[in-house]
Chains A and B, each alone.
Chain A
């Protein structure tokens, strides 16, 4: 089964859905493949206070529901499921989802980024058994129990603040002696009486794999090398994200850290393939910048299709 589209958008976070909105309004009848993490990272947040236009904030999942409905209102078609393979060697591009194959004249990649794990092996094995990357999903299970949060950025602080209302104590474990989080989030976290901080320290093991649940963490003080154990029932990991670019390896140019390279707006190394949102942005990573770049990608795709895309001022090396 295959059908040809003018534009296919992979991903349904702020970048993908804004691209869908613009492409739909340009009458391109976009197909959005929403992915298994539909709605993107905002689906895992609570109150979003920096989305312009909402002076009192808006809940992340509500914002995504609105964005989705808005794109659909103008004719975007949204399908569930994950893309399993892409072929960008010729146009139309082929996008495969299991047994279904779609063809598209242009492609907008908005696959975003996913939470990074600790790389201990044991953390993935105990996922859903006390190890989590989503406080709003799993915090419930830690009512009246001690937990730890790993990381020093906004994600980690948001998790710590959320958990402080449920858990008896929240211990933030951070590799450095200063936080990377925004001032406002730092102040909030520091003001919570049951949040404490362990600095210059990393998690080197999570116990107890034999019991099949988290009972404690083994910590190592980085400057001294001293190890210690911290008894907790849960550990929430907020150490950043990795871009979802595995599908495009060997087909689209990437930076060393795996993020897609773009140039002259949203163009990738393949003509007719555009990228938007966190998949190509390791610097700003905001909902509003993702949405902005989604808009750019849709406009670029529209101009590409009509043959009016402005000339490239720069060629990106095809280093794959």
Chain B
């Protein structure tokens, strides 16, 4: 189950949601097995960084515009935004420690 600390974003509210602060977005789909594997890691990051960053996810089946806009052609992909600017793109699985390092760079 996804953590309650994770914000569910859609094509409609994506732009506004990444405008300020550091936002980590997980692009996923229900049929994507590696995405399910990454889920606990993302949940854990949401817990660890509560109040410091926003952790969000986008279901690409229901929201095709946003992945298209950011050239996402594989999942899982994590995008890290700071004040609306795309700072990091992480394709595929990655450990929590490595992801934490990437987040820390932008805090």
Q: Which residues of A contact B32 (CB under 8 A)?
A: 136-137
Point out residues on A near B: beta carbons under 8 Å: 36-39, 43-44, 60-61, 80-82, 98, 127-130, 132, 134, 136-138, 140-142, 212-214, 234
Contact assessment for B97 and A98 in the assembled complex, using a CB-CB cutoff below 8 Å: yes
B residues 46-103 with Cβ under 8 Å of A?
60-61, 67, 71-77, 89, 91-97
Q: Which residues of A contact B77 (CB under 8 A)?
A: 128
Point out residues on B near A: beta carbons under 8 Å: 29, 31-37, 40-41, 60-61, 67, 71-77, 89, 91-97
CB of B28, distance to nearest CB on chain A (Å): 10
Contact assessment for B96 and A138 in the assembled complex, using a CB-CB cutoff below 8 Å: no
* Chain A CB within 10 Å, residue with most, of B33, B34, B60, B71: B33
Known: A44-B33, A80-B40, A128-B91. A138 touches B97 (CB 8 A): no
Q: Which residues of B contact A130 (CB under 8 A)?
A: 73
* Chain B CB within 10 Å, residue with most, of A36, A80, A134, A142: A36
Q: Which residues of A contact B31 (CB under 8 A)?
A: 136, 140
Contact assessment for A44 and B34 in the assembled complex, using a CB-CB cutoff below 8 Å: yes
CB of A294, distance to nearest CB on chain B (Å): 20
Known: A43-B37, A137-B34, A140-B29. A128 touches B73 (CB 8 A): yes
Contact assessment for A128 and B89 in the assembled complex, using a CB-CB cutoff below 8 Å: yes
Known: A127-B74, A129-B73, A130-B73. A140 touches B92 (CB 8 A): no
Q: Which residues of A contact B37 (CB under 8 A)?
A: 37-39, 43
Known: A137-B35, A140-B60. 11 other contacts (CB 8 A): A60-B33, A80-B41, A81-B97, A128-B92, A129-B71, A129-B91, A130-B73, A132-B74, A134-B34, A137-B32, A234-B73
* Chain A CB within 10 Å, residue with most, of B36, B72, B73, B89: B73
CB of B1, distance to nearest CB on chain A (Å): 15
Q: Which of B33, B73, B93 contacts A213, CB < 8 Å? A: B73
CB of A286, distance to nearest CB on chain B (Å): 19
Contact assessment for B91 and A82 in the assembled complex, using a CB-CB cutoff below 8 Å: no
Contact assessment for A138 and B41 in the assembled complex, using a CB-CB cutoff below 8 Å: no
CB of A202, distance to nearest CB on chain B (Å): 23
Q: Which residues of A contact B92 (CB under 8 A)?
A: 127-128
CA distance A132 to B77 in the complex (A): 12
CA distance A298 to B42 in the complex (A): 32
Q: Which residues of A contact B60 (CB under 8 A)?
A: 140
CA distance A140 to B94 in the complex (A): 21
CA distance A259 to B35 in the complex (A): 28
CA distance A129 to B68 in the complex (A): 10
Chain B, Cβ-Cβ closest to A39: B37
CA distance A1 to B4 in the complex (A): 30
Contact assessment for B93 and A37 in the assembled complex, using a CB-CB cutoff below 8 Å: yes
Contact assessment for A43 and B33 in the assembled complex, using a CB-CB cutoff below 8 Å: yes
Chain A, Cβ-Cβ closest to B75: A137
Chain A, Cβ-Cβ closest to B34: A137
Chain A, Cβ-Cβ closest to B89: A128
Known: A43-B34, A44-B34, A61-B33. A36 touches B71 (CB 8 A): no
CA distance A80 to B96 in the complex (A): 9
CA distance A213 to B72 in the complex (A): 9
